[in-house]
Amino acid sequence: MSENSERSSWSSSFGFILACVGSAVGLGNIWKFPYITYENGGGAFVIIYLLAIALVGYPIMIAEIAIGKKAKANAYLAMGKLSKDNIFWKLVGGVTIITSFLILTYYSVVAGWTVEYCFQSLLGNLSMLNNETVAPRFTEFLGNGLKQVGYHTLFMFITTLIVIKEIKGIEKVLKVIMPLFVGLVILIAGYSLYEFGGGKTFDFLFSFDMEKITPHSVLEAVGHAFFTLSVSAGIMVIYGSHLTKATDIFKTGLWITLLDTMIAIIACFMMYPIIFGTDIKIGESVSILFTTLIPQFNSVPGGTVILSLFYLLVALAALSSTISILEVTVSFVSEKFNIARKKATLLSSGVIWGIGVLCALGLGANETLTKVDLFTKFDYLVSNWTMPVAGFLTSIFVGWYAADKYLKEDFEGSHHKMLYPIWKFSLRFIAPILVGGVIIYRLKIFS
């Protein structure tokens, strides 16, 4: 597909919104948001988080969608077009593509875990696990190289089959996946509140003790607001590149943000009744979804059935994310090197799969690869360097250069015209300052 080929478009804004929400929710909303909210004071933290979304996450997401919509290309080529082939800004776009590439090498491994646990739950093999046996069972699974590689391969295969169908195929699949996902989140949250009790959960989420908010809490809120909307990974740029000229990006962006935030809060109602009702010990790692929660579901009526639905929910969340992440690399390879879509998809997924095998075997199955631990190294690199730095620079690029020169026309004559200067101000000053603070905080420069 050449740069100048006719570009396919989303059939509707609804399809675009579902695709972006699917990319954004992922495993992070199911556990990461409930965890950091739990650790940082509940309702007061949610208020700070909503402010961070408004001041950082939403403006940068709109900037990325606008870049893609204007340039009609992947992040690398789009930044090149809007900067008149400035190599620095092209490299910034390239970094976002590398970010998605690296994420998928290990995210697909975690996604594979959801298949194993959904399958084992359906067979009833998780029903006998208790607090003493559940963690050793998970450790044994991590050390099983055949299973790790097998499920990673299966998930990459499913993702590839969907992405190879281009944007229209992606849209069709996500129009099925996302309503099912949202329905399961609401169902399991309702079950959790009914079986484990919701009193403490409501008290926790609707108590606004601002004394619990610390500088650490603010930076955590900004950090998650930044990461939760899939910015700085080339996703919003490539999805935005398939929008029609008439699409209202402020409105669609607002829907994406609201739905993503709503799902994150509903996930709290899914997790907190279990936490408060059983006094379990929790940690930041997503592995809690495959260990600590299982005995709690097993202890209540109908819990084994709900556990199967829960892992289906997690699998759908993972799939909606892997689709968008793979699309970034495929579009870059296809457009940059003028390679047919099918060949670009197979080549991209094959390379990612191969590196993912090394990540999968580095979780305990292979001694040498376990010592290298590419899984942890890639996650650290992406979380602490490529994503925040690319987001910081993107806000600078759009706020100080591209907004007035190329993107202002999107807002001229629309009822959002009055929001344009506010959006630009946020990109010029607020977002860079806050994201810069997150970078300094995560790198522990002053520790």
In a domain, residue 391? The reply is yes
Q: How many domains does the chain have?
A: 1
For residues 43-51, give the mean pLDDT: 94
The lowest-confidence range among 7-16, 213-222, 412-421 is 412-421
> 37-49 as b/e, with b when 16 or more CB fall inside 10 Å?
bbebbbbbbbebb
**Number of other residues whose CB lies within 10 A of the CB of residue 141:** 18
Q: Summarize pLDDT for 181-206 with one digit per residue, the tens.
A: 999 999 999 999 999 988 999 999 99
In a domain, residue 4? The reply is no
In a domain, residue 1? The reply is no
What 3-state DSSP class applies to 37? helix
Task: Report d(CA 333, CA 97) in Å as an integer.
Answer: 10
Residue 4 has pLDDT above 50, yes or no: no
Question: What pLDDT score was predicted for residue 359?
Answer: 98
In a domain, residue 354? The reply is yes
Name the more confident of 31 and 269.
269
Residue 39 has pLDDT above 80, yes or no: yes
Cα radius of gyration (the chain): 21
Residue 1 has pLDDT above 70, yes or no: no
Residue 197: CB partners within 8 Å, gap ≥ 6?
273, 276, 277
**What's the number of CA atoms in the CB half-sphere (13 Å) around residue 332?**
28
In a domain, residue 447? The reply is no
Q: Summarize pLDDT for 245-296 with one digit per residue, the tens.
A: 889 999 999 999 999 999 999 999 999 999 888 877 777 678 889 998 899 9
Question: What pLDDT score was predicted for residue 414?
Answer: 62
**Number of other residues whose CB lies within 10 A of the CB of residue 318:** 24
Question: What pLDDT score was predicted for residue 5?
Answer: 53
**Looking at residue 243, what DSSP letter applies?**
S
**Number of other residues whose CB lies within 10 A of the CB of residue 128:** 11
**pLDDT-derived band of residue 412, with 50, 70 and 90 as boundaries?**
low
Are 27 and 321 spatial neighbours (Cβ–Cβ below 8 Å)? yes
Structure tokens at 420: 């344009």
Q: ∠ CA(206), CA(286), CA(195), 5° rounding?
A: 50
Give the dihedral of Cα atoms 433, 435, 438, 444; nearest 10 deg.
-70
Closest C-alpha to 294, from 284, 303, 281: 303
In CATH, what number is assigned to the domain containing residue 34?
1.20.1740
Helix or strand run (H / E) with residue 318: helix 303-336
Average pLDDT over all residues of the chain: 92
Question: What pLDDT score was predicted for residue 3?
Answer: 45
pTM of the model: 0.94
**Looking at residue 6, what DSSP letter applies?**
P
Residue 72: CB partners within 8 Å, gap ≥ 6?
7, 78, 241
Closest C-alpha to 206, from 35, 44, 38, 51: 44
Structure tokens at 303: 């819990």
- In which domain, by residue range, is 201 found? 13-442
Residue 232 φ/ψ, nearest 5 degrees? 65, 20
For residues 100-117, give the mean pLDDT: 96
- Per cent of the chain over pLDDT 90 is 76
**pLDDT-derived band of residue 208, with 50, 70 and 90 as boundaries?**
confident
In a domain, residue 416? The reply is yes
**Looking at residue 300, what DSSP letter applies?**
S
Are 369 and 361 spatial neighbours (Cβ–Cβ below 8 Å)? yes
CA 245, 247, 251, 255 dihedral sign is: negative
Helix or strand run (H / E) with residue 334: helix 303-336
Residue 291 φ/ψ, nearest 5 degrees? -135, -85
**What's the number of CA atoms in the CB half-sphere (13 Å) around residue 124?**
1
Q: Summarize pLDDT for 362-382 with one digit per residue, the tens.
A: 999 999 999 999 999 999 999
In a domain, residue 418? The reply is yes
Q: Which long-range contacts (CB under 8 A, 24 or more apart) does 297-303 make?
A: 298/126, 298/127, 298/128, 298/129, 298/130, 300/195, 300/196, 301/195, 302/191, 302/195, 303/195
Task: Report d(CA 6, CA 81) in Å as an integer.
Answer: 17
The position carrying tokens 């950082």 is 56
In a domain, residue 271? The reply is yes
Are 310 and 271 spatial neighbours (Cβ–Cβ below 8 Å)? no
Are 270 and 36 spatial neighbours (Cβ–Cβ below 8 Å)? no
**pLDDT-derived band of residue 419, with 50, 70 and 90 as boundaries?**
confident
Question: What pLDDT score was predicted for residue 413?
Answer: 60
Letter for the amino acid at 102? L
